[in-house]
């Protein structure tokens, strides 16, 4: 199984002791502001089991982000295959993150996501990676822009998993980073 390490983060599979924190990531109103569903502990445990199995099978997924300095789990960062066709072809690699509020604004999402972009393009040989968020989720779209992702022209879509009971959360903005753009930025930064 893949474990990625950055200067401040260890990105790893979920562990049994992460269950209470994983539940918080799926139930806390501030964290879930742009999501329609809040999960109780049993539902959260089921999701964690599914995510953990996916990571074990694929070597990547939405992985636990742990601080190197303290061992604290701060959220998740990772990549996953999409299932939102026709807006994005099935199986396209998506990058995403969700952190607890006390870790927002410290650059952790960007740092971890950069490691996953490197992994996606270098190790997996992907030609592009996408990301998407509710159109007015400025925290997430700002991370996408810091990563060098570009908003897709006419790249707004109603997310098929968002229930009609939450119309304000349906419209999503789609961002994309191609291998060519990623390589050009790496050469420029070198």
Q: Which CATH number applies to 4-189: 3.30.9.10, 3.40.630.30, 3.10.20.30, 3.20.20.80?
A: 3.40.630.30
Q: Which residue has the higher pLDDT, 117 or 1?
A: 117
CA distance 97 to 64: 10
pLDDT band at residue 112 using 50, 70 and 90 as cut-offs: very high
CA distance 46 to 42: 6
Residues of the chain with pLDDT > 70: what percent? Answer: 99
**pTM for the structure as a whole:** 0.94
| Sequential DSSP letters for 44-67 | HHHHHHHHHHHHHHHS-SEEEEEE
Mapping DSSP to helix (H, G, I), strand (E, B) and coil, where does residue 81 land? strand
How confident is the model at residue 1, as a pLDDT? 53
CA distance 21 to 19: 5
Which two three-digit tokens encode residue 171?
Answer: 């419209």
CA distance 51 to 23: 13
Helices 108-118, 138-146: axis angle to 10 degrees equals: 50
């Amino acid at each position: 199984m893949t474990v990625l390490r950055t200067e401040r983060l260890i990105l790893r599979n979920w562990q049994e002791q992460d269950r209470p924190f994983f539940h918080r990531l799926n139930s806390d109103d501030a964290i879930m502001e742009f999501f329609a569903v809040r999960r109780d502990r049993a539902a959260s445990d089921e999701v964690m089991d599914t995510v953990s199995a996916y990571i074990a099978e694929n070597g990547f997924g939405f992985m636990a982000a742990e601080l190197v300095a303290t061992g604290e789990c701060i959220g998740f960062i990772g990549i996953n295959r999409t299932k939102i066709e026709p807006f994005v072809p099935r199986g396209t690699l998506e990058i995403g993150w969700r952190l607890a509020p006390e870790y927002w604004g410290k650059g952790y999402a960007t740092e971890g996501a950069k490691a996953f972009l490197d992994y996606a393009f270098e190790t997996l040989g992907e030609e592009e990676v996408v990301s998407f968020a509710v159109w007015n989720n400025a925290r997430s779209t700002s991370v996408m822009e810091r990563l060098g992702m570009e908003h897709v022209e006419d790249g707004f879509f109603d997310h098929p998993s968002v229930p009609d009971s939450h119309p304000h959360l349906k419209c999503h903005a789609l961002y994309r980073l191609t291998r060519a753009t990623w390589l050009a930025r790496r050469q420029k930064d070198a």
